[in-house]
C-alpha cells in the first residue's frame, strides 16, 4: 500500500485492489505516518502529472507524424478536449501546428484602403508591396500579405483603393516550382525551429538573393498557413531520413 501511495495512486484505487474501503486504507497508511494532508496532496499532484505526461507523449507522437495540423485536428486525433490540448501544448509541439485564422481582422476594409491611399501619397504610385511595408513600419497596419489575402491580390486591393496600378504584365515566367518554394519555406522554418511567420518569411526572403517574393508564395499557396503546413511536412520527411 505504501509503495502504491507514494507512486500517486488514490486511496480508492488502492482499496479496490486490496478489497478495502477508502477510509480503511487511509487508516492503515495514517497508522504508519503516510496519510497526512500533505502526503495526499502530493499523491494527487503525482497522479495528475503522470496523466499529463502520458497525454503530452501521445500528442507529441501524433504531431511528429502529422506536422502542419491544426489544434482541433490534434484534439480529435488524441481524443482530448481542445482546451486540454491547449493547456498541455509545449513550445516544440506549437511549432508543428498551424493556426487557421477565422477571426475578422482588427482593421476594417475602409481603414485598410485608407492606409493604402496614405502610403501611396507618401511613397508614390504604383504602390509596391515593399514601399507599403516601409510605410507600415512607421504608421502601423496589416501586412501586405494580409491585404492580398483579403482582396485576392495586391493589385486588386490597390484598385479598390483607387490607386494607379500600372499596366498589366501580360507574360509571367514562373521561375519557381511549387516543390522548390516548399523547400525554401522548410529552410526558413528550420532556422526558426518551426515558429516562422508570414512577416518573418518576408524579412528572411528580402535578405536572400535567390528566394521567391511573398507575393509569388501567396499566389501559389493562397495563404501562408498552407505554405507553412507544406514546409513542416517536408521538415518531418527530412528528419526521418
Rounded distance between C-alpha atoms, residue 217 and residue 227, angstroms: 8
| 168 CB burial (10 A radius; 0-12, 13-18, 19+) | exposed
Q: Residue 36 has what pLDDT? A: 67
Phi, psi of 150 (to 5 degrees): -70, -40
- Indicate whether 137 belongs to any domain: yes
* Angle, alpha carbons 200-206-211 (nearest 5°): 100
Of 193, 204, 118, 206, which is closest to residue 162 (Cα–Cα)?
A: 118
Whole-angstrom Cα distance, residue 155 to residue 111?
Answer: 17
3-state class (DSSP) for residue 97: strand
Q: Summarize the confidence of residues 18-32 as an average pLDDT.
A: 87
Beta bridge partners of 97: 69
Residues 183 and 229 in one domain: yes
pTM summary value: 0.48
As a whole number of angstroms, the distance between CA 31 and CA 204 comes to 66
For residue 22, tell me if it sits in a domain: no
Mean pLDDT for the chain? 82
- pLDDT value for 94: 86
Q: Is residue 27 part of a domain?
A: no
Q: Do 114 and 152 share a structural domain?
A: yes
State residue 117's pLDDT score. 93
pLDDT in tens, 220-229: 887 788 888 8
Residue-wise pLDDT tens digits, 81-99: 888 898 899 988 888 887 6
In a domain, 207, yes or no: yes
pLDDT at 171 over 50: no
HSE on the CB side for 129, CA within 13 Å? 21
Number of domains in the chain: 2
Instruction: For residue 20, name the pLDDT band (cuts at 50, 70, 90).
Output: very high
Q: Between 4 and 209, where is the model more confident? A: 4
The residue range of the domain holding 209 is: 178-240
Amino acid at each position: 500500500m505504501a509503495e502504491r501511495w507514494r507512486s500517486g495512486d488514490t486511496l480508492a484505487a488502492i482499496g479496490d485492489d486490496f478489497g478495502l474501503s477508502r477510509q480503511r486504507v487511509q487508516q492503515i497508511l495514517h497508522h504508519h505516518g503516510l496519510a497526512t494532508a500533505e502526503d495526499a496532496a502530493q499523491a494527487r499532484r503525482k497522479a495528475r502529472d503522470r496523466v499529463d505526461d502520458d497525454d503530452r507523449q501521445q500528442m507529441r507522437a501524433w504531431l511528429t507524424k502529422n506536422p502542419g495540423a491544426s489544434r482541433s485536428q490534434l484534439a480529435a486525433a488524441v481524443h482530448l478536449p481542445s482546451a486540454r490540448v491547449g493547456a498541455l501544448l509545449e513550445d516544440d509541439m506549437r511549432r508543428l501546428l498551424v493556426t487557421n485564422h477565422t477571426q475578422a481582422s482588427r482593421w476594417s476594409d475602409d481603414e485598410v484602403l485608407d492606409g493604402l491611399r496614405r502610403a501611396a501619397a507618401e511613397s508614390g504610385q504604383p504602390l509596391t508591396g515593399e514601399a507599403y511595408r516601409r510605410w507600415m513600419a512607421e504608421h502601423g497596419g496589416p501586412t501586405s500579405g494580409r491585404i492580398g489575402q483579403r482582396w485576392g491580390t495586391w493589385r486588386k486591393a490597390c484598385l479598390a483603393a483607387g490607386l494607379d496600378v500600372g499596366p498589366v504584365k501580360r507574360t509571367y515566367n514562373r521561375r519557381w516550382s511549387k516543390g522548390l518554394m516548399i523547400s525554401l519555406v522548410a529552410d526558413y522554418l528550420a532556422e526558426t525551429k518551426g515558429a516562422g511567420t508570414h512577416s518573418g518569411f518576408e524579412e528572411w526572403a528580402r535578405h536572400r538573393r535567390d528566394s521567391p517574393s511573398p507575393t509569388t508564395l501567396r499566389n501559389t499557396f493562397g495563404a501562408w498557413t498552407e505554405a507553412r503546413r507544406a514546409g513542416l511536412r517536408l521538415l518531418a520527411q527530412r528528419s526521418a531520413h
